[in-house]
Amino acid sequence: MTDLKLYQVGTFAAGNRLVDLELRSVQAHADRANSITSGHRACQGCGEALGARYVLDAAMRAAGGDVVVANATGCLEVFSTPYPESSWQVAWLHSLFGNAPAVAAGMAAGLRALGRETRVVGQGGDGGTVDIGFGCLSGMFERNDDVLYVCYDNQGYMNTGVQRSGATPPAARTANTAPLGPEPGNAFGQGKSAPLIAMAHEIPYVATATVADLRDLERKVEKAMSIRGARYLHVLVPCPLGWAAASSDTIRLARLATESGIFPVFEAEYGEVTAATPIRRPVPVDEYLRLQGRFAHLFGKHARPDLVARIQAAADRNIVRFGLVEAEPRTGS
Partner 1 sequence: MDHPFAITLDVGSSRANKTGSWRTERPLYVHNQPPCNRACPAGEDVRTWLYDAEEGGDAYERAWRRIMEVNPFPAVMGRVCYHPCETGCNRGQLDEAVGINSVERFLGDEAIRCGWQVTVDQPSSGLRVLVVGAGPSGLSAAYQLARLGHEVTIIEAAAKPGGMMRYGIPEYRLPREVLDAEIQRILDLGVHLQLGTTVTDLDATMREGRYDAAFLAVGAQLGRRAHLPAGTASHVVDAVALLHHLGEGDRPMLGRRVAIYGGGNTAVDAARTAKRLGAEESVVVYRRTRERMPAHDAEVREAEEEGVRFTWLSSITQVEEGSLTIERMELDETGFPQPTGVTEQLPADSLVLALGQDSDLRFLDGVSGIEVDHGVVTVDEQMMTGRPGVFAGGDMVPDQRSATVGIGHGRRAALGVDAWLHGRTTAQPDDAAPAEFEALNTWYFADAPRAHRPLLEAVRRSSTFDEVVQSLDADSALYEARRCMSCGNCLSCDNCFGVCPDNAIIKTGDPDTPYLIDLDYCKGCGLCAAECPAGAIRMAPEDI
Q: Give the interface with partner 1 as residue ranges (CB under 8 A).
A: 1-2, 4-18, 24-25, 27-28, 30, 34, 36-42, 44-47, 49-50, 53, 80, 83-87, 214, 240, 246-252, 255, 281, 331-333
Among 133, 71, 69, smallest CA distance to 98 is for 133
CB 119 within 8 A of CB 59: yes
Quote the least distance from Cβ 115 to partner 1, whole Å. Answer: 28
Shorter beta-carbon distance to partner 1: residue 226 or 247: 247
Minimum distance, C-beta of residue 54 to partner 1, in the bound complex (Å): 8
Cβ proximity to partner 1: between 251 and 314 the closer is 251
Q: Whole-number minimum distance, CB 19 to partner 1, in Å?
A: 10
The residue (of 12 and 188) whose beta carbon lies closer to partner 1 is 12
Say which amino acid occupies 296.
A
Q: Which is nearer to partner 1, 28 or 314 (CB)?
A: 28
Q: What's the CA gap between 13 and 28, in Å, rounded?
A: 9
Contact 214, 14 (CB under 8 A): yes
- Least spacing, CB of residue 29 vs partner 1, in Å: 8
Q: What is the DSSP code (8-state) at residue 129?
A: I
- What residues contact 44, with CB distance under 8 A and at least 6 apart? 240, 247
Q: How far apart are the C-alpha atoms of 267 and 287, rounded to whole Å?
A: 26
Question: Is the CB of 56 or the CB of 198 nearer to partner 1?
Answer: 56
Minimum Å distance from CB 22 to partner 1? 14
Q: How far is the CB of 256 from partner 1 (least distance, A)?
A: 10
Q: Shortest CA distance to 236 belongs to which of 81, 91, 130? A: 130
Residue with smaller CB distance to partner 1, 4 or 114: 4
What dihedral angle (degrees, nearest 10) is formed by the CA atoms of 106, 110, 115, 118? -50
Q: How many Å apart are CA 49 and CA 40, to the nearest integer?
A: 9
Half-sphere exposure at residue 98, Cβ-oriented, CA atoms within 13 angstroms: 4
Query: At closest approach, how far in Å is the CB of 171 from partner 1?
Result: 26
Q: CB-wise, 28 or 197, nearer to partner 1?
A: 28
Comparing CB distances to partner 1, the nearer of 50 and 308 is: 50
Can you tell me the distance from the alpha carbon of 81 to that of 174, in angstroms, rounded to the nearest whole number? Answer: 26
- Cβ closer to partner 1: 305 or 329? 329
CB of 135 to partner 1, least distance (A): 31
To the nearest whole angstrom, how small is the minimum distance from the Cβ of residue 46 to partner 1? 5
**DSSP alpha helix (H) spans, 96-168:** 100-113, 126, 134-142
CB 200 within 8 A of CB 230: no
| Nearest C-alpha neighbor of 192 from the set 214, 164, 213, 221 | 164
The rounded distance, in Å, linking the Cα atoms of 32 and 54 is 10
